[in-house]
Amino acid sequence: MVALERLNRWEAELVERRAALSPARPPAALTRISALARGGRLWFAIAALMATRSPITRRAARDGVAALLLASSCAQVLNRVVSRPRPAAGHLPARDALVHQPRTPSFPSSHSAVAAAFTTAAGRRSPITGMMLVPLAATIAYARIRTRAHWPTDVLAGIALGALVGELVHRHTTA
């Protein structure tokens, strides 16, 4: 527990001073994207749009949804096992800007895991689609740190988990 507290202090220092991420209210677009991504809704909508395209894009959507579901499940299990507290919200305008205040443990970021899983799986099937999705996935990951919903290592772990799941789904569906 002492190591976790030390890590939390180090990350707070990193976010506040070294990265100079303002505690002020973030741009509305960041909080909207974060809200849209909650529960995978944004990715399901993108998959539905992809399903109206070519056969390869439909398969990319199928792979993305499979990866999204698996990554979300894995992230929820890890949340409960690790049970890391979120960054202190206080009355930071950055955190107050979130429409939905998270109450679950922080590690790993399920928003980031789902974004990386969907993007990886869909991108492995259709590289052009993947290239179009990367900026959106990166924006969602950044938004989770900027709004102080997650520690940077929560987001990095979510990205790693999602990328791994996306790759596993791709390998399984092409085997």
Residue 138 lies inside a defined structural domain of this protein:
yes
Q: What is the pLDDT of residues 101-159, one digit of tens each?
A: 777 788 899 999 999 999 999 999 999 999 999 999 999 998 888 888 888 889 999 99
Residue 95 lies inside a defined structural domain of this protein:
yes
Mean pLDDT lowest among 23-27, 92-96, 141-145: 92-96
At CA 117, angle to CA 135 and CA 25, rounded to 5? 50
pTM over 0.75: yes
By residue range, what is the domain housing residue 116?
24-174
pLDDT at 166 over 70: yes
For residues 158 and 141, is the Cβ–Cβ distance under 8 A?
yes
Round the average pLDDT of the chain to a whole number and report it.
84
Residue 131 lies inside a defined structural domain of this protein:
yes
Decide: residue 97, CB within 10 A, 0-12 exposed, 13-18 middle, 19+ buried. Answer: buried
Helices 127-146, 41-50: axis angle to 10 degrees equals 170
Decide: residue 117, CB within 10 A, 0-12 exposed, 13-18 middle, 19+ buried. Answer: buried
For residues 115 and 150, is the Cβ–Cβ distance under 8 A?
no
Of 46, 53, 63, nearest in space to 140 by CA: 46
Residue 113 lies inside a defined structural domain of this protein:
yes
Please tell me the predicted confidence (pLDDT) of residue 102. 74
Total domains in the fold of the chain = 1
Residue 106 lies inside a defined structural domain of this protein:
yes
Please tell me the predicted confidence (pLDDT) of residue 2. 66
What is the distance between the alpha carbons of residues 69 and 110, in angstroms, rounded to a whole number? Answer: 11
Q: What is the pLDDT of residues 69-90, one digit of tens each?
A: 999 999 999 988 888 877 776 6
